[in-house]
Amino acid sequence: MIDILKTRIAGILLWILLSIHGNAQPFARERVSLSGSWGFRMDPQNTGVVQRWMDSLFTETVTLPGSMAQWRKGVRNTQPTTQHLNESWSYTGKSWYQKRIHIPASWKGKIIALHLERTKATTVWLDGVQIGESRLLSAAQVIELGHPGPGWHTLTICVDNTPSLFAVGGSHALSEHTQTNWNGIIGNIFLENHNSTGLEQVRVKPDADKRLFRLSIRLGGEHKDHKTARIKIEASAWNTAKPHRAKTQWYNLAEQTTDRMVVLDYPLGTEALFWDEYHPALYRITVTLYDKNGVADRRTLNAGLRTFRPQGTQFSINNRITFLRGKNESCVFPLTGFPPTATAEWQRLYRIAKQYGINQYRFHSYTPPEAAFEAADIEGIYIQAELPNWSNFNSKDSFQNRFQYEEGKAILDAYGNHPSFVMLSLGNELAGDETVPDKMIKELRAYDDNRRLYTVGTNAFYNDPHPGPGDDFWVTMRTGKETPDGRFDVRGGFATTEDAGNGILNTMRANTRRNYSEAIKPYHLPVIGHEIGQYQLYPDYTELPQYTGVLQPANLRIFRERLQKAGMGDQAADFFKASGMLAVQLYRREIEMALGTPGFGGFQLLDLQDFPGQGTALVGLLNSFMRSKGLITPEVFRQFCSDRTLQVLMDKYTWANNEQFTADIQLVNYSPENLSGRTVYWKIVNLQGQVLGSGKLKIGKDHKGVIPVGNIRFPLSGINAAAKLMVQVALEGTSYSNHYPVWVYPSKQELDMSSGIVISKKLDDKTIEALREGAKVLLFPDHESIKAKSVGGQFITEFWNWKVFKEAAEKQQRPQSAGTLGILTRPELPLFDHFPTEYYASWQWWSIIKNARPLILDALPATYRPLVQVIDNIDRNHKLGLIFECSMGRGKLLVCMTPLDQLKGDPAARQLYYSMLRYMRSERFRPVTGLSTAQLKEIL
């Protein structure tokens, strides 16, 4: 009892002393930057260690931070590939970096550590003596140098980027498809000193419910040194309009029961500010350790008061439901070949994404540098980080399992205090032995004190979709086995290796009612749609001058040359715009289906930006530099991708004028604002802006999520000619609005077959003779007879990359995708006088394109252009015709590769048929190109 009393008295006296003098003591930790000039030697023959290069001085110099590709070191690339952007310079193996460093006299007796923010496998020597090594990829390598004396020393680092040293599979931590397997050192490079008695680690676990931070502090030094020590904690909000400084707290370590780990609750008080996407309030926390000599150590860090957790089948942030509108981040940085390490650059990228309604980033099979987390903290972005893993688990592969576990611990140690870091996945599309990730999840969750949400992998075990037993959330492309109706799908598009019909947007009749309610019904955890989108656009070759860094667009140049050789080089810009506008519509439906699903957790786009690898998958509405392609503005994109959207639910886009247009309106509201009682206005307008019908509806109780508002009923009998209309909805007193196209056609259009037009199914002798005699012939070629000379009908633009999945489908003996990217036409053609259209494939074309077999017209003259051209993919470059015309002899021929005569029950197909017949009967039907019988027989 006397000893306890003495200890407490000593603690009180120490507290008084430190209160008076403590803050005047010099801060223990100091840094010396090592950025700048370094000696350099390549070691392609792996002889440096044997020859003891660490004992010699290097004469060649480079500047760190940086990479060999930036310095034009290594092997010059002379064999371009279309698989990805091309490195001008590449290198695999060991390279050596050397610098003379000066240890200040004031550092005498201090422990000194070397910090390398990002690099590959390293071995470090000081004055020729090996002092440490590391293979850490996902966080800074920290290597203790011990107690080198003041003065000059020689620091030598060997960096080895040999892939076999890292058990990562196809991870974007090394992948040549995006980040590249660079050699060098990037980010912060410095020496730091500290006392033997110090703050080895400070972990912060926020508890928004209790308005406190729980700090777990690991102390260095001997236990006896801690008995008389005290810790002071201070915190103040620094990025908010409303100031808040929490009360300073002192803690006597003599009262702690463990030798090295101290757990302290730091209350913020009733005025505490919370962190979320809307108000990302950050506290700067300063932890100071005092011993008998004064300040022993001090650490300053950022933290945010938030509780992010599952709430039923969705997520909540500080007890408010949120919906994750995610972007896939695959480390696409063509100028450098590696991710930025500057906070400002990540802020710029996040702000661009937020303009498009994004509030979450999923880092695909890698974890970004510290700056990405710092920027996300400031901008209010929810981060899902991943282990550098894209491979199969194997319980017998101890190297891989240990490597990934150590990476996981390092990620949690380095970035675990960031409030933006809310989710961790063990990697991308993992498979194999499920006991391995189950065990790893348990171990990492325990190691991290359950500070965030975990999943065994992103779209893991997708051949047999199911969440892991320890999953807090589930990122998946479907929740059950493949079915023809896609009832288990939680995204709209697929490769044919995953879905025989390329997904529900390509196989199910176009509508705006479909959502994923049935798919998620059996599950009780949040489900996130995995990599939704993946709709390829034709390249925009005007972006080529933007590639001024280490990665060059040789793949894009090759694709451009192929198109020129195919005689369609002049159409590149039109192909880009037409495929892009179709992709915009597809991405919209993907996002609407996800947002419109009650109880859905969120989605992760692949992608808002291009992925210039894996065969070149240009799937973005922004390019590789996160620059707009000019296809849609952020303001319009946010009409359907935001925390507040209005949705119009329709059974179809195409209507007949003897029907009544019917639709339902629903509000999707995940914002903090309560919209109960607000008015939604709707109107139907034609392209001239004339209002044909209007109304207003009241929002009932706003319970957050998907809220039914009411319905629209509008008779179409007054519309006597084919027309495109727009259904517009707007929320009273706000800027929130949306619009949906619908097409209306006359229901009793006469399709008179007998007025001088020959309808044929094949180019037989009878048809040829009719043409020679001057007949007008409309040819609907029989699909079976021209199967080898045509491609399949596909509405969506090609999923990801045709060549990649064609090869995979062949191996799996699955159907191959048609490989097309939509249509290109000219709305001003007389062919469309009675079928108003855009120059691209809009929803009215769905059944027409799906039931087509576009004909290969490569044998026709290079200058020949179909009336409706189907855009082929970048690897095949066929000239494809859906509707085309020519003259032969005295006759005139119009060929349509969709059997419109068999689709008379479809309003759009019937109307196009009518417009074609009217065109053929008119004087404007005068085909310019004349073809011989031999030319026609070659293509047909």
pLDDT digits 0-9 by tens, 521-562? 999 999 999 999 999 999 999 999 999 999 999 999 999 999
The structure tokens listed for 69 are 């590709």
In this predicted structure, the answer to whether residue 136 has a pLDDT above a threshold of 50 is: yes
Residue type (1 letter), 190? F
User: Rounded distance, CA 724 to CA 713, Å?
Assistant: 17
In this predicted structure, the answer to whether residue 832 has a pLDDT above a threshold of 90 is: yes
Ramachandran category for residue 616: left, alpha or beta (phi over 0 → left; psi -120 to 50 → alpha): left
Report the Cα–Cα distance between both ends of the chain, in Å, rounded.
Answer: 103
Helix (H) or strand (E) holding 373: helix 370-379
Do residues 939 and 887 lie in contact, with contact meaning Cβ atoms separated by under 8 Å? Answer: no
The pLDDT assigned to 29 comes to 85
Helix (H) or strand (E) holding 634: helix 634-637
324-329 and 360-363 beta bridge pairing: parallel
In this predicted structure, the answer to whether residue 178 has a pLDDT above a threshold of 70 is: yes
% of the chain beyond a pLDDT of 90: 92
CA atoms within 13 A on the CB side of 460: 31
**Non-local CB neighbours of 177 within 8 Å, separated by 6+ positions:** 83, 84, 611, 612, 613, 614
The pLDDT assigned to 17 comes to 40
Q: Tell me which residue of 908, 865, 863 sits closest to 884, measured CA to CA.
A: 865
Sign of the alpha-carbon torsion through 402, 407, 413, 416? negative
**pLDDT bucket at 119, cuts 50 / 70 / 90:** very high
The pLDDT assigned to 254 comes to 74
Q: Where are the alpha helices (DSSP H) in 815-864?
A: 846-850
DSSP per residue, 556-586: HHHHHHHHHHTT-GGGHHHHHHHHHHHHHHH
DSSP per residue, 344-357: HHHHHHHHHHHHTT
User: Rounded distance, CA 878 to CA 868, Å?
Assistant: 14
Before 65, cis peptide (omega within 30)? yes
Neighbours of 558 (CB within 10 A): 16
Q: Tell me which residue of 589, 631, 579, 569 sits closest to 822, measured CA to CA.
A: 579
The pLDDT assigned to 21 comes to 39
In this predicted structure, the answer to whether residue 747 has a pLDDT above a threshold of 70 is: yes
Strand partners, 390: 169
Mean predicted confidence (pLDDT) in 94-117? 96
**Non-local CB neighbours of 886 within 8 Å, separated by 6+ positions:** 892, 893, 927, 929, 930, 931, 936
Q: How far is CA 493 from CA 124, 479, 864, in A?
A: 49, 15, 33
Mean predicted confidence (pLDDT) in 740-766? 88
Residues in the chain: 940
713-740 pLDDT, tens per residue? 999 999 999 999 999 999 998 999 999 9
In this predicted structure, the answer to whether residue 398 has a pLDDT above a threshold of 80 is: yes
Sign of the alpha-carbon torsion through 642, 531, 448, 196? negative
The structure tokens listed for 722 are 């084919």
Residue whose tokens read 């999945």: 805
In this predicted structure, the answer to whether residue 248 has a pLDDT above a threshold of 60 is: yes
Q: Tell me which residue of 845, 934, 917, 925 sits closest to 882, measured CA to CA.
A: 845
pTM: 0.95
**pLDDT bucket at 28, cuts 50 / 70 / 90:** low
User: Rounded distance, CA 471 to CA 475, Å?
Assistant: 10
In this predicted structure, the answer to whether residue 9 has a pLDDT above a threshold of 90 is: no
Computed over every residue of the chain, the mean pLDDT equals 94
User: Rounded distance, CA 479 to CA 432, Å?
Assistant: 19
The pLDDT assigned to 2 comes to 42
User: Rounded distance, CA 303 to CA 214, Å?
Assistant: 11
User: Rounded distance, CA 447 to CA 686, Å?
Assistant: 61
User: Rounded distance, CA 876 to CA 871, Å?
Assistant: 10
Neighbours of 94 (CB within 10 A): 24
Do residues 169 and 10 lie in contact, with contact meaning Cβ atoms separated by under 8 Å? Answer: no
In this predicted structure, the answer to whether residue 8 has a pLDDT above a threshold of 50 is: no
Neighbours of 811 (CB within 10 A): 9
Q: How far is CA 178 from CA 86, 117, 339, in A?
A: 10, 20, 10
594-619 pLDDT, tens per residue? 999 999 999 999 999 999 999 999 99
In this predicted structure, the answer to whether residue 753 has a pLDDT above a threshold of 70 is: no
Q: Tell me which residue of 537, 688, 702 sits closest to 624, measured CA to CA.
A: 537
DSSP per residue, 455-475: ES-BTTTTTS----TT-SSEE
User: Rounded distance, CA 617 to CA 613, Å?
Assistant: 6
71-84 pLDDT, tens per residue? 999 999 999 999 99
User: Rounded distance, CA 528 to CA 127, Å?
Assistant: 53
The pLDDT assigned to 256 comes to 62
The pLDDT assigned to 1 comes to 42
**pLDDT bucket at 227, cuts 50 / 70 / 90:** confident
Using the CB atoms, write b or e for 793-808: b if 16+ within 10 Å.
bbbbbbbbbbbbbbee
The pLDDT assigned to 494 comes to 97
Do residues 590 and 532 lie in contact, with contact meaning Cβ atoms separated by under 8 Å? Answer: yes
Do residues 403 and 445 lie in contact, with contact meaning Cβ atoms separated by under 8 Å? Answer: no
Q: Helix, strand, or coil here: 342?
A: coil
Mean predicted confidence (pLDDT) in 907-927? 96
Mean predicted confidence (pLDDT) in 25-44? 88
CA atoms within 13 A on the CB side of 839: 12
In this predicted structure, the answer to whether residue 25 has a pLDDT above a threshold of 50 is: no
The pLDDT assigned to 27 comes to 54
366-392 pLDDT, tens per residue? 999 999 999 999 999 999 999 999 999
Q: C-alpha angle with apex 644: 643 to 645, nearest 5 degrees? A: 120
285-317 pLDDT, tens per residue? 999 999 888 899 999 999 999 999 999 999 999
The pLDDT assigned to 561 comes to 98
**pLDDT bucket at 11, cuts 50 / 70 / 90:** very low
User: Rounded distance, CA 80 to CA 97, Å?
Assistant: 30
Q: Helix, strand, or coil here: 846?
A: helix
631-649 pLDDT, tens per residue? 999 999 999 999 999 999 9
Mean predicted confidence (pLDDT) in 214-231? 83
**Non-local CB neighbours of 596 within 8 Å, separated by 6+ positions:** 515, 647, 649, 666, 668, 706
Q: Tell me which residue of 810, 800, 753 sits closest to 778, measured CA to CA.
A: 753
In this predicted structure, the answer to whether residue 841 has a pLDDT above a threshold of 90 is: yes
In this predicted structure, the answer to whether residue 5 has a pLDDT above a threshold of 70 is: no
Q: Tell me which residue of 846, 936, 837, 833 sits closest to 891, measured CA to CA.
A: 936
DSSP per residue, 539-550: --GGGGGG--SS
% of the chain beyond a pLDDT of 70: 96
Before 464, cis peptide (omega within 30)? no
